[in-house]
């Protein structure tokens, strides 16, 4: 599961980091982080896909959001027993019902 998250988060962080730095032209002397490279990349992708370049970033953001929902859904499915136990404890504490003590805990009290 750890590698699954790393292989999902790595490209997402790399892409969002590049997009943010190149969008605001914080290049630190690296051509790939310049605004010119940013515009060129989206022009190339727009030409390949046959769509206007300015429509690509929202499409990528929606794809990342959808993929994130799938990843978190997989994680929730794998941890469903722990989540259900947490939810039951939470609901019991909200309603004021305390868990019943075991018979052994008070039966030997003086």
What global pTM score does this model have?
A: 0.71
Q: Is the pLDDT of residue 96 over 90?
A: no
Q: What is the pLDDT of residue 70?
A: 96
**Count of positions (residues) in the chain:** 110
Phi-psi region at 50: left, alpha or beta (left = phi > 0; alpha = psi -120 to 50)? left
Q: Is the pLDDT of residue 99 over 70?
A: no
CA–CA distance, 16 with 37 (Å, rounded to integer): 15
Cβ proximity of 39 and 53 under 8 Å: yes
Q: What is the pLDDT of residue 94?
A: 84
Domain residues of the chain, as ranges?
A: 2-80
Tens digits of residue pLDDT in 44-77: 999 999 999 999 999 999 999 999 999 999 999 9
DSSP letters for 2-51: HHHHHHHHHHHHHHHHHHHHHHTT--TT-GGGSHHHHHHHHHHHHHHHTS
Q: Is the pLDDT of residue 16 over 90?
A: yes
């Amino acid at each position: 599961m750890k590698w699954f998250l790393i292989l999902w988060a790595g490209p997402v962080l790399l892409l969002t980091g590049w997009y943010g730095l190149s969008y605001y032209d914080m290049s630190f002397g690296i051509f790939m982080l310049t605004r010119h490279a940013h515009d060129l990349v989206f022009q190339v992708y727009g030409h390949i896909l046959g769509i206007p370049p300015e429509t690509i970033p929202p499409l990528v953001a929606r794809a990342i959001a959808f993929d994130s929902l799938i990843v978190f859904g997989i994680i929730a499915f794998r941890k469903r027993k722990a989540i259900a136990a947490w939810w039951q404890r939470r609901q019991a504490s909200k309603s004021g019902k305390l868990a019943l003590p075991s018979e052994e805990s008070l039966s030997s009290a003086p």
